[in-house]
Amino acid sequence: MKVLISNLILFTSETRQIKKVESIKETMIYNLCLAFKNEGHDVTLLAAEDYKPTQNEEYPFNIIWAKSKYKKVFMPCVFPYCPETKKIAKDDYDLIISSEVISMSSLMLAKRAKDHTIIWQELSSHNKICNGLVSKFWYNIIAKIYFKDVVIVPRSNQAREFISQFCNKVVDETIDHGVNSEIFKPNTDKENFFAVCSRLVKLKHIDKTIKVFNKYIKKYDNDSKLYIIGDGDCEEKLKVLVNELQINNNVIFTGRLFHKEMVKILSKAKAMLIYTSRDNNMLSITESIALATPVITTTTPNQSTYIESEKLGIVNNEWNEDDLYEIFLNNDKYVNNCLEYSKTTPFEYKVNQFVNIYNKYIK
């Protein structure tokens, strides 16, 4: 098939000024496109030019870098407007996949190519910009008018429940984020440490994770380690906290790592630890499970539903040192559950899901 994947925002920006990166090859959407290519499809990625990497990269598929317009109103970090999408929608694609109903790109595609467009919906609640007024207007007016006949594929059960209030053709199937199976391979040989893999920013509450880990090593196992993989504005404060707790020998800050280096650590961890208070679908959760590494998390990430139901870890809004000990004691059980579930995490599996939905609802 000839496939267009529209995902203007390639990665999360903490500020309005989008941080430049050297490569996009570790982004989720790039690897989804790569999987479509490897499965024999002619794929094109549509992305906002604001996210173009600084180094010249060669890609095995076509990428259209669309220019953003009227950036003061349509900020590229949250709501880019790329008029070029209108022209692109007229091209002869068999299937178009566009991220989010609340998107100018999705709107243009829904108006001009609704018969062969799938909207891949991640958001499961109203956006809080302008006190939620923009989001409520979009979903209650725009979505009900222009997306009523467009196929919507949710990325979680929560996303399905939310978007079903506004759109008619929400499918029963769910497609979560995927991973590059050449890099993220399951490993059942775990060592005596836990890991955090996250941006070190306030909403991730890494400080709470460190405090719980401190109680764990004091109560259960003074030899255990905690690897903190990532960087961000809170990094220095977190290092001060570790110093104050006098657990410098137990906590290792690695900084931000590329996938191949990160996998060497996360694949051997007893569990990945998450204390976030604001996330939808976390790619790091899918990556952890793909490595057969259990997850301890709050209920905030949408994946918490299947982590709990499939026993891929522990879901508890106030998880503590006893939960870490539970994972330590019964690690083999949780790892084996993750190993079985990891069969569903490769992007090739996600591509087949999209193709099946195309055959069932569009073709």
- pTM comes to 0.93
The confidence score (pLDDT) of residue 97 equals 98
Residues 296-309: tens digit of each pLDDT:
999 999 999 999 99
How large is the average pLDDT for residues 116-124? 97
How large is the average pLDDT for residues 165-171? 96
The confidence score (pLDDT) of residue 127 equals 83
Residues 80-117: tens digit of each pLDDT:
999 999 999 888 999 999 999 999 999 999 999 999 99
Residue 50: closest CA among 87, 73, 21: 21
Q: Where are the beta strands (DSSP E) in the chain?
A: 2-6, 42-48, 62-66, 95-99, 117-121, 151-154, 193-197, 225-229, 251-255, 272-273, 295-297, 313-315
Please, are residues 327 and 296 in contact by the beta-carbon 8 Å criterion? Answer: yes
The confidence score (pLDDT) of residue 105 equals 97
Residues 185-215: tens digit of each pLDDT:
999 999 999 999 999 999 999 999 999 999 9
Q: Confidence class of residue 39 from pLDDT cuts 50, 70 and 90? A: very high
